[in-house]
Chains A and B, each alone.
Chain A
Amino acid sequence: MTLLDFARGPALQWSMIILVAGVLWRLGGTILINAKKDLSKARKEHAVADGLKTIATRSLPAHQFEKNIRFQHFSGYAWHIALFVSVLFFAPHILFFESVLGFGWPSLPNSIILITAAIALAILFALLIRRATHPVQRIISNADDYISILVVIAPLITGILAFAHLGARYETLLAVHLLSVEALFVWFPFGKLMHTALTFPSRYQAGSSYGRKGVRA
């Protein structure tokens, strides 16, 4: 079995199993911890609508607070969007999704994808440096914070190298790229990348618990 066969075969399968089982375990285990019923009389009975609204509004700039967090906020938007564009609209990726899902969608030109990947990578490096140097982020950081950035950076770097055929044979570069994505899958359920799923119940709770008091959260 070549490295590429391994990356495309058992490594992919196992990483997917760990990803799905881990996400279900952590999400399910968290949500199933007994939530206490609030006995106070709600001011407004729109708690569900308020919860759903907060899921959306917490993605928006934070109005009054914005002036101090602008860099973090907009760099966050930029790298998430750039990453998703690179993942979802790169022609070879779409071929892979098509082989799994049975359907594909139009791709963006490679030159655009190279730019979006470079943007995501540059911002992630900046955020990594910020995390290591900014006093607030330093004091609240743990290994998870660094591992989580590194497992997102790695597929971007290996992807760009594979695209540019730099440093090794294409098959090897592709295998390493796949393995780096699989490393991300394996880490996903254990670290803070889980916010991808957890942010929905978390924001919902904020919206509904403040909402029942008549406060927009």
Chain B
Amino acid sequence: MNSNAENLRNFRSRLEAIGEGANGEDPMSDEERVRRAGNAFLREINGRMAVDLETCIHCGMCAEACHFYEATQDERYTPAHKFDPLRRFYRRELSPMRWLFRPFTRKVDAAELREWQELVYDACTGCGRCDMMCPMGINISELIVVMRKGIASAGLAPPEVQALQNEQLTGGSLFGVDAAKLRELVSQLKSQQIEVPLDQPKADILVLTTAVDVLVFTDALAALARIMNRSGASWTLSSKAFEAANVGLISGNTSAQALASGRIIDQAAAIGAKTVLIPESGHAYQALRWEGADSSGNELPFEVLAISEFVTRELDAGRLKFKAAANGRSVTYHDPCRLGRHGGVFEEPRRLLEAMGLENRDTESNRRENYCCGGGCGEYTISRAAPLRQKVFEIKRREFENTGADAVITACSNCRVNLMIGAENARWQKPIESLVETVAKNLTDA
């Protein structure tokens, strides 16, 4: 099997090819774009957002929480500025004071939607760090998500994001990883004596994976299988619904998001799964754990667990045990935004590291205040944003280095890809590892 580094190289060229091969804007008139964006805004703005849009006092403190602003000092990257068109739309169309605001509030036009594409896709990963800073308690990242939804509806999502979304929307695959590709990997793993149940008719746990794990981090999938087998759980992967990633959440296409979640929800129901297990992917956790029910319109008939939550539970129940791996090695755990700040999973990964005898040295910003990897929410797929990402990576690198830890460890394959690319570009040698792989390596044999 290829090494992570070689896989990553292949994946990078695949990413670049998406950018080059993608079409530009969806063809439609500018009036139509503005109309569609407006409809998306109308559909998405709820009471909570109305309060937030009314409350912003334009203090600008949110800029100081934003890694894109910090890295560039470009005032356009101020989070409150990133949702300005949405605020103006709200003031003209929905505010209780709209009769007064309308004549004084400029209408959103197509040129602005184009301009804001960069601000909300290239220069925002929806990490939510600004949400934690805002003195008014405004959920800024949620408003920027609505901006993405408006821009996506206007056919103006960046070409890479658009291409990936179309791929998932039509065939269900991502980066060309379809059922055949999954079967190929499963049989490869089998030849290494790693059993991966595929398409079992009934199972307690439906385990998902991601195209990134199939293409780049095959060891992470192997590790996941080892953990599941060792726990003795009844589990399966499904060739009908194995992809945890949800490009609809990333692009801002609500129906694409619902379709991708729906595939998983239907398959979990079909096999009678009580649990759906999310691999190392932050946004996949958010899409199903916190937004899956809303996407489908019903409460989910199963629980959704991140792999670190599952392992912690199995450890507590005595079904999994760790070798005493303490060898004086230190790591620094990077909290993926959508698993941590947006997901509430902070302590389980740290407990696992401790249980394995590894010393975790938190970065200065951590947990709810952690800096994003810089490429989340699809940002790392956008080729033109590479120089911007690299500047943001320097913030991460500084924080990681200050811990003096031997390695970086994280629980999201997208964070890992992005950090590895950043490190490679910066010729930074620190290993960037996966929690699930570390767990699998440290399990006792019996």
Residues of chain A having any CB pair with chain B under 8 Å: 25-26, 28-36, 38-41, 43, 54-55, 58-59, 62-65, 68-69, 72-73, 76, 134-143, 145, 189-190, 192, 194-195, 198-199, 201-207, 209-210, 213-217
Contacts and interface: CB of A to CB of B under 8 A. Distances in A.
B369 A64 contact: yes
Given A140-B84, A209-B139, A213-B343, A39 B294 contact: yes
Interface of B: 45-48, 50-52, 54-61, 63-65, 69, 73, 75-76, 78, 80-81, 84, 94-97, 100, 104, 131-139, 289-294, 297-300, 303, 340-344, 346, 364-365, 368-369
B60 A140 contact: yes
Contacts of B73: 135
A68 B61 CA distance: 8
B299 A39 contact: yes
Contacts of B346: 215
Contacts of B369: 63-65
B60 A136 contact: yes
Nearest to B98: A29
Given A58-B137, A68-B64, A202-B137, A29 B96 contact: yes
Contact of B80 (A34, A140, A209): A140
A181 B65 CA distance: 36
A202 B136 CA distance: 6
A65 B58 contact: no
Contact of A206 (B57, B139, B291): B139
B136 A58 contact: yes
A209 B69 CA distance: 26
B159 to A, nearest CB: 27
Contacts of A192: 56-58
B58 A204 contact: no
Given A65-B132, A199-B137, A38 B61 contact: no
Contacts of B303: 41
A180 B166 CA distance: 58
A145 B299 CA distance: 43
A73 B94 CA distance: 31
Contacts of A216: 368
Nearest to B347: A214
Contacts of A76: 59, 135
16 contacts: A28-B96, A31-B47, A36-B48, A41-B299, A69-B64, A135-B75, A136-B63, A142-B58, A195-B55, A198-B55, A202-B55, A203-B136, A206-B138, A215-B341, A217-B131, A217-B137
Contacts of B298: 39
Nearest to B291: A40
A204 B344 CA distance: 18
Contacts of B80: 140
A151 to B, nearest CB: 14
Residue in B57, B95, B97, B346 with the greatest tally of chain A CB atoms within 10 Å:
B57
A33 B292 CA distance: 23
A29 B47 CA distance: 10
Given A38-B294, A62-B133, A137 B47 contact: no
Nearest to A198: B55
Given A26-B97, A39-B299, A40-B289, A201 B58 contact: no
Given A40-B293, A65-B132, A140-B80, A30 B61 contact: no
Contacts of A43: 344
B257 to A, nearest CB: 14
Nearest to A206: B137
